[in-house]
Structure 1
Amino acid sequence: MGGYWPEWVSGTLPPEKIDWTKYSYMAYAFAVPNSDGTVSLSDSSGTMLKRLIKAGHAANSKILLSIGGWGQSNGFSPSAASDTMRAKFVKSVLSLYNTYGIDGIDLDWEYPNNAAAGTYSPQDTANFQTLLQALRAGLPQKAIITAAVAQAPWLASNGQSVASVARAAGALDYIMIMNYDVWGSSSSPGPNAPLANLCGNSTQPGASAAAAVKQWAAAGMPKNKMILGSPFYGYVSTSSKTKLVTRDMDTAADRRALTSGDGQVNFASLVSQGVLSLSGSEFIAGSGFTKYWDDCSDTPYLANGNKVITYDDPDSLYDKGAFVQQAGLGGSAVWSVDGDVASGALIKALRKGMGMS
């Protein structure tokens, strides 16, 4: 069980307050890849990383340094483009590994050979697989190497998903499938994190947890090297709808081009604002909202005639955990740990679905 801890939540969830008993590893977000092949971590970020490492290691949890992230991936394409640049990148990562005593790295390149990444090249995916091999050869054998990935394999030079990720599979310990942001804020909202195309009517059938596993497996990634990423957040949309639409294609940029008053919202914020309230062991609708369930994606949503909130709750996360266990995947991860409530209801449900205490 893994999680992402973004440094900007240090004020509300400092490293020392994380329930480390629930996480095998934690990824610190983010260091920044530069176009010259180096990786940057500010002094303030380094201080927070040290605190995360101290707290995590005291609880026997592993700490990864996540590099890149949304809006910070411009440096990956040039860093992966040649043997010389790849060597510089590996040297920079090795320096961070040794300086801070991290257990490994997570490469969050969003997305190779895709305009949504900012700087990109048709050779990105081929170069990325070569970079991963260089990292495996250049880092200590015990170093963990993971990559956060979309639901479909990276784009080859022809613009289609690459046929083989075998080289990456040989270098990586895990991929973390980002099964979220399928549908952002919209006047016709859809699910944020579909488990599967359960009604068979999706116009985006490749955008679900079940589809992602099939797609990566077909490209050569072993299932036991797949970690399913689930969200501890949802989206608020200005909409009068009371049913979610069948999914349609949108872009990463569209998902983040949110209108005023709309956008991402943590599960914990829904509870603190009274939009959800705990009744027994269930989180029910409050503040004039009605709670619905979308059978097609196996996720809940809320509506009040003016706003629709698509999100995940303990019930949908339990089902995602059960899917991870039944599919024989390597585990689960969450973005991000600060989205949970103080009781840990979300992480507990996800772990329970996986058969973990």
Structure 2
Amino acid sequence: MSVKRRSLALLVAAAVVVPVGLTAVPAEAHSQKRVVGYYTQWSGYDRNFLVSDLVKNGTAAKLTHLNYAFGFLDASGNCISSDPWADYQRPFTAEQSVDGTADVAGQLLSGNLNQLRQLKKKFPKLRISISLGGWTGSKYFSDAALPANRAASVKSCLDMWIKGNLPGAPAGAAKGIFDGVDLDWEWPASEGNPGNVIRPEDKENFTGFVHEYRKQLDRASWPFSGRYTLSAFLPANPAMIDRGFEVPKIFKDLTFGTTQGYDYHGTWEPLTNQQSAIDGPKGDPTTPEFSSQVTIDSYLSRGAPRNKLVMGVPFYSHGWTGVTNQNNGLFQPATGPAPSRFEAGTEDYRDLKAKLAGFTIHRDNLAGFAWLFDGTTFWTWDDPTEMKRKARYISDRNLGGAMIWSLDGDTSSGELITALHRNLR
């Protein structure tokens, strides 16, 4: 994923994203914790990571929730598809599809949504939500959340994604695919992507927006209770939490909230550093401290229920080059972002793993993070060992589970999600 689409909350704050059998397995067969993964709309382009690959690499069997990213809001607050071709128009061959059936001209629904429908048939316990917003899709959230606008905005989004009324498609073509909504407003009362609309009253309006979603989703659930999931992606930065979120109030309406567990540091900063440490490392010259411990404690101290906090983990790395060869490259000045496949300074785990020659893996077992260094290039490094560490931290603190950004970063054998899932208790 482009780092511009990934949450760069800490940048904004000035202190700162082996083929297996295809038999369906219950989503929570191994762990009672939530395992939430983002599948990105653009995964099927350059990355060539299709919905069917979630089956082939064993990921789908290990997920409890899948968030499909992203749907956008327009200037009127209405939900729109940011890529109709990827969402519901692209035809898939039999070899590319989840169920082995090729799409044909004139069928009711194609694209990723049809593949998600097939995925749900194979894994009926998997809950799929439409994720709204993201780094480049949050421009108009502040307008949509205004008291005069929020009911109509929510109605538009539920009509499109829950009732399945897609533009240019037969009525209800996508009905039944999505089991909920994930709100990814980056960020209430804090600018994310330049040009986003922000207001001081976003904090209260986000609470009202969440409540309106809960109310309309519950109405759509009748006569069943709790049929639809409502989640939200939440920032790591404590200052941004206080500026934009009434934590106890929103968690009353959320099924769960996923916390940003990455991008603590990155190539927008001149020094190499960790991007996803569990605790603050000794010798870090930057202040304030950013770590998973700081983030989780911030939400708990502000009233978030422990069992509704789902901690984010990255399936990608940040990297610098021209790094001073001292302290194994950690906390050292760099000349710029490291070269990479899709965007300088950011690399998927599966791609970085393929070019490890010449690098040494270093681990800080006290702070809980790892990095690679070859004398001049430095990469943050979340491998199976670090996923195991994060899973045990989540379990030891009795949190609600783990969230992955993003599923296309894993290997063909699903080694990251396997390590994460296996160690959640």
TM-score bracket for the superposition, by shorter chain length: 0.7 to 0.9
Q: Confirm whether residue 17 of structure 1 aligns to residue 86 of structure 2.
A: no
Match of 2:201 in 1: 123
Aligned partners of 1:5 and 1:26 also within 8 Å:
yes
Match in the other structure for 1:43: 84
Structure 2 match to 1:294: 364
User: Aligned equivalents of 2:371 and 2:149: distance in 1?
Assistant: 46
**Distance (whole Å) between structure 2 residues aligned to residue 8 and residue 116 of structure 1:** 21
**One-letter amino acid of the structure 2 residue matched with residue 43 of structure 1:** P
The aligned amino acid for 2:78 is T
Query: 2:409 maps to what in 1?
Result: 339
> Which position in structure 1 is the counterpart of 2:386?
316
2:99 corresponds to which residue? none
Q: Provide the residue aligned with 1:244 in structure 2.
A: 330
AA at the equivalent of 2:307: N
1:168 matches 2:250: yes
Deviation track 1:28-64 (CA, whole Å, cap 9, x = no partner) reads: 0110122211111143213312312321342121111
- Of residues 133, 150, 158, the one that matches 1:94 is 158
329 and 293 in structure 1: CA distance in 2 versus 1, 3 angstrom threshold? same
Q: Does 1:79 align with 2:144?
A: yes
- Report the TM-score when normalising by structure 1: 0.86
Q: Which residue of structure 2 lines up, in the alignment, with residue 69 of structure 1?
A: 134
Q: Deviations over 1:1-47 (max 9, x none)?
A: 11000011125221122031111111101101222111111432133
Q: In the aligned structure 2, how far is the partner of 1:331 from the partner of 1:57?
A: 24
Corresponding letter in the other structure for 2:42: W
TM-score by length of structure 2 reads 0.73
Contact 2:202–2:244, Cα closer than 8 Å, also in 1: no
Determine what percentage of the aligned residue pairs are the same residue. Answer: 27
Q: Is the 8 A contact 1:132 1:172 kept in 2?
A: yes
Between the aligned partners of 2:39 and 2:51, the Cα distance in structure 1 is: 8
Q: CA deviation at 1:353?
A: 2.2
Q: Over residues 154-200 of structure 1, what are the superposed CA-to-partner deviations in whole Å (9 max), with x where a residue is unaligned?
A: 748xxx44684222011101111111111112552101111112538
> Which residue, out of 210, 224, 230, partners 1:132?
210
Is the partner of 2:249 in helix, strand or coil? helix
Q: Which secondary structure state, in structure 1, belongs to the residue aligned with residue 149 of structure 2? A: helix
Whether the 8 Å contact between 1:53 and 1:63 is mirrored in structure 2 is no
Q: Which has the higher strand share?
A: 1
Instruction: Name the CA distance, whole Å, in 1 between partners of 2:39 and 2:379.
Output: 24
- Note closer, same or farther for the CA distance 1:56–1:200 as it changes in structure 2 (3 Å cut): farther
Q: Which amino acid letter does the alignment assign opposite residue 6 of structure 1?
A: T
Checking the alignment, whether the CA contact within 8 Å between 2:284 and 2:331 is kept in structure 1 is no
Choose 1 or 2 for highest CA Rg.
2
In structure 2, distance between residues paired with 1:39 and 1:300? 40
One of 197, 205, 228 as aligned partner of 1:143: 228
| 1:78 match: secondary structure | helix
Aligned position for 2:68: 28
Higher relative contact order (CA 8 A, sep 6+): 2
Q: State the alpha-carbon separation in 2 of the partners of residues 200 and 240 from structure 1.
A: 17
How much has 1:296 moved relative to structure 2?
Answer: 5.5
Counterpart-to-counterpart distance in 2, 1:201 and 1:300:
14
1:147 aligned partner, one-letter code = A
Task: After TM superposition, list the pairs within 5 Å mapping 1:173-252 onto structure 2.
Answer: 173-185=255-267, 186-199=269-282, 203-241=286-324, 242-245=328-331
- Per-residue CA deviations over 1:293-343 (Å, capped at 9, x if unaligned) read 234542111112221111211111111100111111111110111111112
Q: Does the CA-based 8 Å contact 1:187-1:238 persist in structure 2?
A: no
**Structure 2, unpaired ranges of 5+:** 1-34, 89-110, 165-173
Report the CA distance shift for 1:259/1:268 in structure 2 as closer, same or farther (over 3 A).
closer
Give the whole-Å Cα distance in 1 for the aligned partners of 2:77 and 2:285. 40
Separation of aligned partners in 2, 1:162 and 1:149: 10
State whether structure 2 residue 394 is matched by structure 1 residue 328: no
CA-CA distance at 1:110 after TM superposition: 1.0
What is the alpha-carbon distance in structure 2 between the residues aligned to residue 154 and residue 203 of structure 1?
16
Q: CA RMSD in A?
A: 2.3
1:188·1:239 contact (CA, 8 Å) conserved in 2?
Answer: no
Counterparts of 1:129 and 1:258, CA distance in 2: 38
Instruction: For 2:141, give the aligned amino acid.
Output: F
Secondary structure of the 1:308 match is strand
- Number of aligned residues: 330
| Contact 1:180–1:231 (CA under 8 A) maintained in structure 2 | yes
Match in the other structure for 2:13: none
Give the alignment partner of residue 181 of structure 2, picking from 96, 100, 105: 105
Q: Is the 8 A contact 1:97 1:103 kept in 2?
A: yes
Contact 1:189-1:239 within 8 A present in 2 as well = no
